[in-house]
Amino acid sequence: MSTGAASVGVSPRLQRPEPALAALRRMFGGFKILLPFAVLIAIWWIIQAVGNFPPNVLVSPAAVWRAFVYLVTHGVMAEYASTSLWMIGIATVLSMLIGVPIGFAVGVNRYAAHALEGFLRFLQGISGIAWLPLAIIWFGFSHTTTLIVVMYTLIVPIIFNTMIGVRAIPENYALALRSLGASRLRLVKDVYLPGAMPSIVVGMRLGMGYGWRALIAAEMLVRKGGLGDLIFGARTFGQIDRIIVGMIMIGCLYIIVDRLIVQPIENLTVARWGMLRK
Amino acid sequence: MSVPSATLKPRSAAHHAAGWLAWRLLPATPFVLVLLLWMIGWYIFQPIPSTLPSVAAVIEAIWERAVSGELWTHIAASLSRLFVGAAVGIVTGIVFGFIAGLYRNVSEFLNPLVIFFNAISGIVWLPLMISWLGIGHALAIFVIWNTVFFIVFQNTVLGVQLVPQVFEQGIQSLGGGRWETIRSVTFPGALPYVLTGIRSGLGFGWRALIAAELVGAPEGLGQMIFAAAEFHRSDVIIAGCLIIGVIAIAMDRWLLAPIEQRTIQRWGLVIDTAKES
């Protein structure tokens, strides 16, 4: 994973030229991460070879690799993957824009927070995907339907964690600023926003985890592009190789987004404001 | 839990009780508000029932299905799947979690696999599993197992690894064997984490189950709302969603939270690892 980080270049620390020894150690570290997968693939290969399954039940790792190369070189993978990534990106941005202000408005008032907590828990109990049939009736089999479902899934943890973050700020900080004559806006800018930031980022990360799964499920049912559509469509034709390629893609993309984009943001806020409980 | 008084005047007992009651009733307000908005909005705009049904229509949809017994069939199907899938997930999660937690080599080796398979746990397996298991019980149970397993596993590993070594050494210095150490120190020490894992695992499992039932199941709540979509029966969909939410809340509040609370009280403090929100 560290080698991937260097090429993507998220963290400047990883881009610094390193002495050969450290590079070697890193290579070995990468090998240690890959070893379990190598074992797994070997087992899979043996099972496939011994069982001699028909291709609509199980295919060999080589066939999966061929399907992967085919999908990539023909631009199919880029098309499906970009649809999914685009969707989760838009949904995250929109949910943050809506959810964070709501979380703030609710969080600064203890009565509002108490009133809304149960309601939010109830909404969280109904997964976004349960609303999918209704969303399909309202918006048809469209990207809007998918977006609504993903945003519903994302927004609840964001509101919740923003609220918790604001509530966790010691009241004295706000009181101190207020006694010095700070305005409400100033209070939000200098106390509530920095104080709640780590919690907001945690909420975003959690939400993206839920949202990614909801996205895949919604894509399977809406069938308008995206990786969920890719694997569910492949099932109709019994293309096990494509299903497995799609699953690996879904896992890898999630790990890449989570570890290389969201986690650094989280670490940054924690390092900067240093108030996240581990 | 009392409301701090805004004024400095001492309050009468009755006043205090009223405040307490208001505080307890406060969580109901969003529900009442949404219900009112829905009723008023429906009355003003009079949308076609397939877009937005009236509150009465939803209640009638629930009532009809409850009387005919159809609703109970769906609930029973969903819950039985959840319990079978979760039970298998919890048992395997705890057993493998203990093995991985006790042997650092094992957990280090498995960690990359766990991260990867956790990223694709649950519904991502649906297309492949439909090909292998077909549509039905086995499919839903697999999806729940897959979802619950990784959460319970990760929490168990964490719980086992976080048991202070001093306690284990204490038992060992008193002549306890490996098994005795696990039974009297490691297991109780890890239990709060395991229970936190079970609690959030069941929450995730319930969601995954609904998604799995949407895609493929002969009956169950997810199937009920998905079948309703074909006939544009919004009342049934909304009724189903409300029931799904009520079951999730009831399960968490009256079954899992008390169990967790009791263990935490008994075995002392625990840090919430599941970051549940």
Give the pLDDT of residue A110.
82
Whether the per-residue pLDDT at A26 is higher than 70: the answer is: no
Give the pLDDT of residue A273.
58
Q: Which of residues 160-189 of B touch A (CB under 8 A)?
A: none
Give the pLDDT of residue B216.
75
CB contact under 8 A, A217 and B214: yes
Minimal Cα distance from B215: which residue of A? A221
Do residues A200 and A103 lie in contact, with contact meaning Cβ atoms separated by under 8 Å? yes
**Which residues in chain A touch residue B240, judged by CB atoms under 8 angstroms apart?**
130
Give the pLDDT of residue A170.
84
**Which residues in chain A touch residue B132, judged by CB atoms under 8 angstroms apart?**
57
Do residues A220 and A208 lie in contact, with contact meaning Cβ atoms separated by under 8 Å? no
Buried b (16+ CB within 10 A) or exposed e, B126-143: bbbbbbebeeebebbbbb
What number is the average pLDDT over the span A18-45? Answer: 78
**Is residue B106 within 8 angstroms of chain A, CB to CB?**
no
Quickly list H helices, chain B: 13-25, 29-45, 55-68, 70-102, 104-119, 126-133, 137-162, 165-173, 178-181, 187-215, 221-230, 234-251, 257-267
**Residue A168 and residue A277: Cα distance in Å, rounded?**
11
Give the pLDDT of residue A24.
67
Which H, E and C letters describe A43-91, residue by residue? HHHHHHHHHCCCCCCCCCHHHHHHHHHHHHHCCHHHHHHHHHHHHHHHH
Enumerate the domain spans of chain B.
14-45, 55-267
Give the pLDDT of residue B128.
92
CB contact under 8 A, A127 and B244: yes
Do residues B102 and B165 lie in contact, with contact meaning Cβ atoms separated by under 8 Å? no
Q: How many contiguous H segments (helices) and E segments (strands) does chain A have? A: 14, 0
Give the pLDDT of residue B167.
82
Give the pLDDT of residue B277.
38
Give the pLDDT of residue A11.
44
CA B259 to chain centre: 13
Give the pLDDT of residue B16.
80
Minimal Cα distance from B107: which residue of A? A36
Cβ-nearest to B30 among A115, A216, A232? A115
**Residue B102 and residue B79: Cα distance in Å, rounded?**
33
Distances (CA, A) of A116 to A107, A123, B70, B145: 10, 11, 33, 32
**Is residue B116 within 8 angstroms of chain A, CB to CB?**
yes
Count A/B contacts: CB-CB distance under 8 Å. 159
Do residues A220 and B104 lie in contact, with contact meaning Cβ atoms separated by under 8 Å? no
Q: What is the C-alpha R_g of chain A?
A: 23
What number is the average pLDDT over the span A184-194? Answer: 84
Q: What is the pLDDT of residues B162-221, one digit of tens each?
A: 888 888 888 888 887 888 888 888 888 888 889 989 988 998 899 899 989 988 777 889
Do residues B145 and B89 lie in contact, with contact meaning Cβ atoms separated by under 8 Å? yes
Which range is least confidently modeled, A52-61, A201-210, B220-229, B268-277?
Answer: B268-277
CA B112 to chain centre: 26
Specify the amino acid at residue A253.
Answer: L
Q: What's phi and psi for B68, nearest 5 deg?
A: -75, -10
Which H, E and C letters describe B75-92, residue by residue? HHHHHHHHHHHHHHHHHH
The two three-digit tokens of residue A158, written as one number: 């964001």
Minimal Cα distance from A157: which residue of B? B277
Do residues B93 and B149 lie in contact, with contact meaning Cβ atoms separated by under 8 Å? yes
- Chain B: closest CA distance from residue A92 (Å): 17
Give the pLDDT of residue B75.
94
Which range is least confidently modeled, A53-57, A70-74, A149-153?
Answer: A53-57
Cβ-nearest to A134 among B27, B207, B238? B238
How many CA atoms within 13 Å lie on the side-chain side of A131? 21
Do residues A226 and A199 lie in contact, with contact meaning Cβ atoms separated by under 8 Å? no
Whether the per-residue pLDDT at A191 is higher than 90: the answer is: no
Do residues B178 and B256 lie in contact, with contact meaning Cβ atoms separated by under 8 Å? no
Quickly list H helices, chain A: 2-8, 12-15, 20-51, 61-73, 76-107, 110-125, 132-139, 143-168, 171-179, 184-187, 193-222, 227-236, 240-256, 263-273
pTM of the model: 0.84
Give the pLDDT of residue B267.
61
Following CA atoms B193, B199, B204, B210 in sequence, which dihedral angle do they give, to the nearest 10 degrees? 160
CA angle at B132 for the pair B128 and B134, rounded to the nearest 5°: 100
What number is the average pLDDT over the span A1-23? Answer: 47
Highest mean pLDDT among A16-30, A204-218, B41-55, B181-195: A204-218
CATH number attached to the domain at B55-267: 1.10.3720.10
Minimal Cα distance from B29: which residue of A? A115
- Chain B: closest CA distance from residue A134 (Å): 6
The single-letter DSSP state of residue B252 is: I
The two three-digit tokens of residue A80, written as one number: 């499906």
Give the pLDDT of residue A13.
46
Q: Which domains does chain A have, with CATH numbers?
A: 1-52 (no CATH), 56-273 (1.10.3720.10)
CB contact under 8 A, A235 and B127: yes
Smallest Cα–Cα separation from A99: which of A174, A155, A34?
A155
How many CA atoms within 13 Å lie on the side-chain side of B134? 3
Give the pLDDT of residue A194.
85
CA angle at B55 for the pair B27 and B23, rounded to the nearest 5°: 10
Give the pLDDT of residue B46.
84
The two three-digit tokens of residue A154, written as one number: 């994302």
**Which residues in chain B touch residue A118, judged by CB atoms under 8 angstroms apart?**
27-28, 30
**Which residues in chain A touch residue B245, judged by CB atoms under 8 angstroms apart?**
122-123, 125-126
* pLDDT tens series, chain B, 277 aa: 344 444 445 556 777 888 888 888 888 889 999 999 999 998 888 888 888 898 999 999 999 999 999 999 999 999 999 999 999 999 999 999 999 998 888 888 888 899 899 889 888 999 999 889 888 889 999 999 999 999 999 999 998 988 888 888 888 888 878 888 888 888 888 888 899 899 889 988 998 999 899 887 778 899 999 999 888 899 999 999 999 999 998 998 888 888 877 776 666 544 444 444 3
- Chain B: closest CA distance from residue A138 (Å): 6
- Between B256 and A17, whose confidence is greater? B256
Q: What is the pLDDT of residues A114-142, one digit of tens each?
A: 888 889 889 988 888 999 999 999 998 99
